[in-house]
Chains A and B, each alone.
Chain A
Amino acid sequence: MDDVAQTTEFGKVLLIGICGTLLVLFTLWLGKLIAPAKPSKEKLSTYECGEEPQGTAWIQFNARFYLIALVFLLFDVEMVFIFPWATVFGQPSLLAMDNRWGVFTLLEMFTFIGILLIGLVYVWKNGDLEWIKPKPQKPTVSVNIPASAYDKLNKEVHIVKSGGVL
């Protein structure tokens, strides 16, 4: 890899990765160099929107996340199979050989994705993707005073000590 022209595509990716890592490390080092460091107990505590942090950060998550991650994983595997297809689909040299190539590969990929879409419809219809919605409860009071009585009370003018009207 002494010559840049000989670098493969993955070599370029590696070079970009190394440059990115070095740049981030350099910025962090620079921040450490110029920023004043006067730590206190409050500064070092975890920031939780102004609230005082309580307990550990390890809380039990909702099990719904797991199913969504599983569905994501299946479509991730599907995506991997699309990559090699994408490199040959619409390749000019192959299209020149047989002009049916483009339509044929496109239809095959539509079949591939279409079969998997049935799975998406299945999980959708079964309500696996639905989130647990909060159900706000309206507080009710069981007293026998009619609402009109409150309306009358609200319309009354109350005189307070200073002479103003409340």
Chain B
Amino acid sequence: MTAELLIFYVLAASALVSALLVVSMKNLARALFLLFVTLFSVAGLFIFCLADFIALTQIMVYVGGVLVLMLFAFMLSNKELLNDLQKGLTGFFALPRWQALIITAGMGFILIHMAINMGSNLPKWVTEAAREGKIFTPTDHTEKHIGLQLMTRYLLPFELISLVLLMALMGAAHLTRKEPKP
């Protein structure tokens, strides 16, 4: 077994175990901190897929931003309110359990279906690119390609991103602002 394979299995195992612990843990604060481990492991798995930019985004946005936001939301919330919410989740026939079961089963079906079917008959563009040697190797830097494409071919979408972000910022600020007292 090579070192790469070993690292991959360690990352995959830590992602799976921590993700399972996140959903099964009773203490919300601990579950949130375990999510750090999950997201970091998934970022490592993205690097194995040669998706450097996605891995970077995962660490910057999800670990650095979204998780902090979730921790804030957790700390801002009332303890009694959270206890009440958790009471509704007990019992085998509770609605959230069935929703979770259906979503998980659906996602699992899609993944297994894709794994069985994609293995033998890959799309044409994939096989063609592989034959012509147009594939990424681990030493390639995908950020450079993305940067080049953003600055030339996808320049307008790139500038539109900032507009979308501006809208999101204004909307979020408007919604979270406290209503002025009448």
Contact call A88/B168, Cβ cutoff below 8 A = no
Please name all residues of chain B whose beta carbon is closer than 8 Å to the beta carbon of A91 when the two chains form the complex: 144
- Which residues of A (30-84) have their CB < 8 Å from a CB of B? 56, 58, 60-63, 65-67, 69-74, 76-81, 83-84
Interface residue tally for chain B (C-beta within 8 Å): 52
> Is B143 within 8 A of A73, CB to CB?
no
Task: Please count how many residues in chain A sit with their CB below 8 Å of the partner chain's CB atoms.
Answer: 49
Taking a contact as CB atoms closer than 8 A, the residue among A14, A77, A104, A122 that contacts B165 in the complex is A77
Given contacts A8-B139, A87-B144, is CB(A1)–CB(B3) below 8 Å?
yes
B25 contacts the other chain (Cβ, under 8 Å)?
Answer: no
What is the predominant secondary structure among interface residues of chain A facing chain B?
helix
Cβ-based interface call for B116 (8 A): no
CA–CA, A87 to B145, complex, Å? 9
**Given contact pairs A76-B60, A123-B169, a sample of 4 additional A-B residue pairs in the complex whose CB atoms are under 8 Å apart:** A1-B4, A56-B79, A87-B144, A112-B158
Chain B residues in the interface with A (C-beta under 8 A) = 2-4, 7, 29, 44, 47, 52-53, 55-57, 60-61, 64-66, 68-69, 72-73, 75-79, 138-139, 141, 143-144, 146-148, 150-151, 155, 158-159, 161-163, 165-166, 168-170, 172-173, 176-178
A contact residues vs B (CB 8 Å cutoff) = 1-2, 8, 10, 14, 56, 58, 60-63, 65-67, 69-74, 76-81, 83-89, 91, 94, 104-105, 108, 111-113, 115-116, 118-119, 122-123, 126, 128
